[in-house]
Structure 1
Amino acid sequence: MGNAEARELSFASGATPNSIGSKSIEVFADALEERSDGDLSTKAYMQSLLSFMETPPGLRDGMADIGSVLTPYFQTEFPATIMLTEMTMLLELDDTTAREATFAFGGAISEYVFNNCPECLEEYNNENQVFLGISGSTPYTLICNTPVVTMDDIEGKRIRIGGPQWARWVESMDASPVSMAVNEVYEGLGQGVLDCTAHNLPDLTNFNFIEVTTDVTLGVPGGIFGGIATHMNRDTWSSLSAENREAMLYASAAIAAELARLYVKEHEENRQLIEDKEDITVHEAGDELKAATREFIEGDIETIAERYRENHDLERSEEMISEFRESMTRWVALVKDVETGEELRQLYWDEVFSKVDVNEYGL
C-alpha cells in the first residue's frame, strides 16, 4: 500500500460530541489510518450530516460512507439482527458482571452475524450496506424518582423503556411501559410524568438524569441495549482494495471494543458517583422482584421466537436463538479475564474480525 490513492471517508453519527459514540469514532479513525498505512482517513460528522434516524437510508443512498446505526430503531429493515439484540436479558441468567455482559455481547453478536446469520447479511445487502460489527451498553437498571425495590413497589409504575423486551418485562411486573424519546426522559422524570426509566448507569450523566433522580435500583431489569452497530455503504466497501477492506475490519474491531470499554468505565464511575451522592439512594432489587424477572426472561425466549417467526417470516428463529444463546455463554467465558480495551480489541480481532474473508464478504 502507499498514499497514491489516499482517500477520506465520511463517518456519520447522531451521537453528541464528547460522548461515548464520538470518542469511539476517534479510535476507529486512528486504527483505520494506521492499519491502512495512511491510505484511508475518516472525517466524522457528529449530529450534522445524518441523525440516528436518517443514518440507514443515508448510508443506502451514499450520503455517507460509514455510519453508526442503532439497529433496534429499524424493525422493518433489520429484523433478524434485532431479534438477536432482544436476547441480551439472557445474560442475567448467567450472573454476569456488567463488564462481562458488555464485553461478551459485542463479540458474540458480531461473530454470529458474520458467520451464522445469512438472514442478517441479506438485510444489509437489501439496504445497500455492509455490516461491520455491533457493540452494546452496560446492563439496564431502574433510574427513578421514587423507591422501587419490591413487587408491590413496581406495581402500576410508569416506566420508560428502550425496546420491546423491556416493555414486555414492565407489563409482566404489572407496571406500565412508556415509549418516549430519550431526550424527553429528563423532563418526564423531573415533572413526574415518569416514575422510572430503564437505562444503563452511564446515561445518568450522558443525559443528566442524575439531576432528576432520587432512587436507583440495581439488579433489574438487566439486559443491555445491544444495537450500537457500524455499517458501511456497500458501493464504498466494494471500491476498496482487499487490504483496505481488512483495515476497515480492524478499525471495526477497535470501535466495537472501545464502545464496550467506555460504557464499562462510565458504569463503574457512575456507580461510585451515586453511592457518594446524599440525595440519591441506591437499592438492590428485592429477591421476589429478581426471581420474577428471571422467570420472565426464561419465558420470553419463546415469545421472541414466535414473534419474529410470525411478524417477520424468520423461519429459523428458534434455531437462531438457541445458537446465539450458546455463543453468548461461550463469550462470557472468553472475556472472563479481559480487563483493558487493548485486550478486548485483540480478542475481537483474533476471534471474529480477522476471520472475515475480505475477498468474498459484502461483495
Structure 2
Amino acid sequence: MLTCKHTLLVMLSGILLGLGAMPSNAEARELRYAIGQPPKALPVIAGEAFAKAVGDYTEGELTVKVYALSLLSMAETSAGLRDGIADVGFVLTPYFPAEYPHNNMLTEASMLLQLMGEDVKGREGMAFIPALSEYIFQHCDACLDEFKAQNQVFTGLVGGSSYGLVCNTPITNQADMAGKRFRVGAANWSRWVKEMGGTPITMSANEMLEALSQGVVDCIVLSTPEIDNFGLAEAVTDISMGAPGGIFSTAGQNVNRQVWQKLSDDQRGALLRAAAVPAAMVPYSYHEREKEILGRLQKKGIKVHDLDPDLLAKSEAFITRDMDTIAQYYEEKHGVENGAQMLKDFRVILEKWVGLTQGVDSLEEYQELYWNEVFSKVDPSTYGLQ
C-alpha cells in the first residue's frame, strides 16, 4: 500500500513527466519477517526495532511485518526463507549442520571467550557477534556461499550473553553432572557436557519448558535472559553461570535472494543500515538484563551457584583442545578444508573486538561502532547480486 507521502510524490512525478522529467521507479513494499521465538522475546523486540528502522531509512518505501512464532517455526525458517514463504528470516544455522558447515564451525568457537580473561566478562556477546559478522562479510566467501545455496543473503548476526547451566537440580561440581541430562543447542556444548560426565540431549528450543518441567532433562545449557524469553522460570530451581561459557549466535535478518536482488541499491543499503540495529541491540540487551534477571530469580528462591574451581579448570583445558576438535570434525564430516586456519584468523578479529568494546557504555555508541566497523563496509551495489 502506498503511503500518503509517496502517493503525492507519484502524482508530482506524473505532472513533471509531461515537462520532460523522469518518473520515479520506487514502489512501496511490505516484507514478511519470520522469527520463531515468542512475541516478548528480546530477538523479537529487536526485530520490531529493525522493522521500524527499515521504514525510517527508506521513508516508507519498504516496511517490515514481524511474524513471531507464527509464520515459520525455528526448524522451518531456513527452508521457508529459501522458498519465499518469508522475505526475511531469523535463521538458526546450528539447526542445519549440513547446510551451513563453515558458519557453524565458527559459531562453535564461541567458547574461546572463556580463555580471554576478565576484560570480556559481561561483554561476551558484544565482542563475539560483531567479530564473527566482520569475519563472514569480509573474509569468508565459503560462509556467504552457504547462504547463497539456500537462496538467502546474509545481513549479519545476532546473539546473546554467556551460557551457563539452568537446572531443576543443583550443579556445582563434576560429580553433580554425572548421569544428568543436559539440553544443548549446539555441538560444542554437547561435547563439553560429555567431557564433564553428563548426557547431552538435542531438542528444539520451543520444547525446553516442557522437558525441564517433566524431568526429561535436568539442565539446559543456556543464557539467563532466555529464561524469560522462553518462560522457563517456573521450572528452574538452580542456576550455575561459570561454565561452559560461549554464546549462541545466528543469522538474524537473512533476506530471500530474489527479494534482495529486486530492491534498489538504496533499499539494500537501508536494510544493511537497519540490520545494525538488532545486531547491536540483542547482545547489548542480553548483557543488560543478565544481572537483573539473576537478581530477580534469586528473590523468588532460585539458587545461584558458583562452580568448583576444578571443574572450571577442566573446562578451560577442554576448550583449548576443542578448537582442534572443531576443525578436524568439520573437515571429516563436512569437507571444510581450512578450518584450523579459519579459526586462527577469526581469533585475531575476536581479540580486536574484545578491545573495541571495552569503552562502550551505551547502546547508541555500540550500534555506531558496529555500523562503522562492519556494515558500512558492505557495498549494496554489488553485495548479494552475483
Normalised by the length of structure 1, the TM-score is 0.95
Look up the SS of the partner of 2:98 in the other structure.
Answer: coil
Query: Could you tell me how far apart the structure 2 residues matched to 1:186 and 1:16 are?
Result: 13
Deviation, 1:99, is: 3.7
Deviation, 1:185, is: 2.7
**1:70 maps onto 2:100 in alignment:** no
Deviation, 1:98, is: 5.1
The letter of the residue matching 1:172 is E
Query: Could you tell me how far apart the structure 1 residues matched to 2:81 and 2:210 are?
Result: 32
Deviation, 1:340, is: 2.0
CA contact (8 A) 2:113 2:120 kept: no
Q: Paired residue for 2:281?
A: 258
Which of structures 1 and 2 has the bigger CA Rg? 2
Q: Paired residue for 1:199?
A: 222
Query: Could you tell me how far apart the structure 2 residues matched to 1:303 and 1:226 are?
Result: 20
Question: Which deviations, in whole Å up to 9, do the C-alpha atoms of 1:126-185 show, x marking residues without a partner?
Answer: 111100000112111111222211222222222211111011001111121122333333
Deviation, 1:236, is: 1.1
CA contact (8 A) 1:13 1:67 kept: yes
Question: Which deviations, in whole Å up to 9, do the C-alpha atoms of 1:20-76 show, x marking residues without a partner?
Answer: 122111110111111122221112222222222221222212222111111111112
CA spacing shift, 1:233–1:191, aligned 2, 3 Å: closer
1:128 maps to which of 144, 148, 151: 151
Task: Please list every run of at least 4 consecutive aligned residues from structure 1 whose deviation after the TM superposition is greater than 6 angstroms.
Answer: none
How do residues 335-346 of structure 1 correspond to structure 2 at under 5 angstroms? 335-346=357-368
Query: Could you tell me how far apart the structure 2 residues matched to 1:307 and 1:328 are?
Result: 22
2:200 maps to which of 169, 173, 177: 177
Q: Paired residue for 2:342?
A: 320
2:260 maps to which of 215, 232, 237: 237
The letter of the residue matching 1:298 is T
Look up the SS of the partner of 1:37 in the other structure.
Answer: coil
Q: Paired residue for 1:309?
A: 331
1:246 maps to which of 245, 269, 275: 269
The letter of the residue matching 2:371 is W
Query: Could you tell me how far apart the structure 2 residues matched to 1:183 and 1:59 are?
Result: 19
**1:356 maps onto 2:345 in alignment:** no
Q: Which moved more, 1:169-178 or 1:187-196?
A: 187-196
Q: Paired residue for 2:19?
A: none
Look up the SS of the partner of 2:156 in the other structure.
Answer: strand
Query: Could you tell me how far apart the structure 1 residues matched to 2:55 and 2:209 are?
Result: 38
Query: Could you tell me how far apart the structure 1 residues matched to 2:138 and 2:229 are?
Result: 34
**1:19 maps onto 2:57 in alignment:** no
**1:94 maps onto 2:116 in alignment:** yes
The letter of the residue matching 1:78 is Y
**1:331 maps onto 2:353 in alignment:** yes
Q: Paired residue for 1:273?
A: 296
The letter of the residue matching 1:362 is G
Q: Which moved more, 1:40-49 or 1:243-252?
A: 40-49
Deviation, 1:262, is: 2.4
Question: Which deviations, in whole Å up to 9, do the C-alpha atoms of 1:238-297 show, x marking residues without a partner?
Answer: 1111111110100111111111122223212212113323x2211111100100100000
CA contact (8 A) 1:201 1:270 kept: yes
Deviation, 1:195, is: 2.1
Query: Could you tell me how far apart the structure 1 residues matched to 2:139 and 2:87 are?
Result: 25
Look up the SS of the partner of 1:12 in the other structure.
Answer: strand
Query: Could you tell me how far apart the structure 2 residues matched to 1:156 and 1:25 are?
Result: 39
Question: Which deviations, in whole Å up to 9, do the C-alpha atoms of 1:188-242 show, x marking residues without a partner?
Answer: 3333332211111012222232212221112011111122432101111111111
Query: Could you tell me how far apart the structure 2 residues matched to 1:336 and 1:21 are?
Result: 24
1:287 maps to which of 295, 309, 322: 309
Q: Paired residue for 2:52?
A: 30
CA spacing shift, 1:158–1:334, aligned 2, 3 Å: same
Structure 2 unaligned blocks of 5 or more: 7-25
The letter of the residue matching 1:149 is T
Normalised by the length of structure 2, the TM-score is 0.90
Look up the SS of the partner of 1:86 in the other structure.
Answer: helix
Look up the SS of the partner of 2:249 in the other structure.
Answer: coil
CA contact (8 A) 1:10 1:45 kept: yes
Q: Which moved more, 1:300-309 or 1:17-26?
A: 17-26
| Identical counterparts, % of pairs | 43
Question: Which deviations, in whole Å up to 9, do the C-alpha atoms of 1:281-333 show, x marking residues without a partner?
Answer: 11111100100100000000000000111111111111111111111111111
Structure 1 unaligned blocks of 5 or more: none
CA spacing shift, 1:213–1:258, aligned 2, 3 Å: same
Aligned-residue RMSD, C-alpha: 1.6
Q: Paired residue for 1:209?
A: 232
CA contact (8 A) 2:40 2:229 kept: no
CA contact (8 A) 1:71 1:229 kept: no
